[in-house]
Amino acid sequence: MLELRPNCECCDCDLPPESLEARICSFECTFCASCADVKLGGKCPNCGGELVIRPRRPPAALATSPASTRRVFKPQGCNVIRGAALALLAVCLGPSLVKGAVLPPEDVAVAPGPGPYDFDCNSRGQQIVQFLAAAPAARVSIRGYFHFEKTYFGTEWAPLASIGLRNADSSLEVTLQGEVNGEYTRVEIYTVVPKLSDSRKLLVMTPLTYRYIPFSITMNADGTVSESVGTDALTLSAGSFSASSVQLACLTAHVKFRDVTVSAAQ
């Protein structure tokens, strides 16, 4: 029976038994999703095994088999960035290069907007492939669909699709990122604000075989950003910024973006 440990070994954040953010290895070393991906690249620092989503125990079962209260905190083993984490950083940093990780995206012409656009994104190796569309206003709304047509094995980088808002300096301010998990069975879709270190939040998980996942990103007048994937949605604070362009990108995957529109937010 799983202990259902109450915290992340790296950052000590709380991980209650109902949390979707908990990741474990086969020995049940426990980490939050952010540390597992960004610091550890999906690998346990103790045994080297893969980190997977921790199953949730039904409330009725918790009444007779409660979660552990024993906290394990070993931050000294959590300072390695590798694998999928490097791919994530490279996408977040846009044209900047993360040494030893992936190549930055090549320069491409900025499409005038508003679309709709279909983008066949095919990245076979460590080169980020991207498409850029001009933002028609300081606040924009993006809607469309994406689908993982193929994932490429034999690389250390997680297959990834990204939809992001860029500012005038071409830096990404907020993104939706779909990452294929280690078993190549699911797409885990996160929202990320690169300038905030604790902003990586799991929004939804879908089967890898799911055809054309619908998404939207809308900048609100109060400085928040609303995002949705299918029927799942959240609103987060991204700080004040003016959108200059929209980036669609992929890494170590063949991703098809369909019917993507970029319009002024109401």
For 31, the 3-state DSSP assignment is: strand
**Which residue is listed with tokens 């280690």?**
182
pLDDT confidence of residue 221: 85
| Rounded Cα–Cα distance for residues 194 and 196 (Å) | 5
- Among the listed residues 161, 140, 139, 142, the one whose alpha carbon sits nearest the alpha carbon of residue 150: 161
pLDDT confidence of residue 87: 39
**b/e code 177-191 from CB counts within 10 Å (16+ = b):** bbbbbbeeebbbbbb
State the 10-residue block means of pLDDT for the chain, 266 residues long: 91 89 93 77 83 92 93 70 40 40 66 87 85 89 93 72 87 86 76 70 81 90 87 82 90 92 89
Instruction: Report the CATH number of the 84-264 domain.
Output: 2.60.120.200
In the chain, domain spans? 22-77, 84-264
For 90, the 3-state DSSP assignment is: helix
Are the beta carbons of 252 and 158 closer than 8 angstroms?
yes
pLDDT in tens, 116-156: 999 999 988 777 899 999 988 888 999 999 999 988 865 56
pLDDT confidence of residue 200: 72
Residues 6+ apart with CB under 8 A from 126: 101, 102, 103, 155, 157, 251, 252
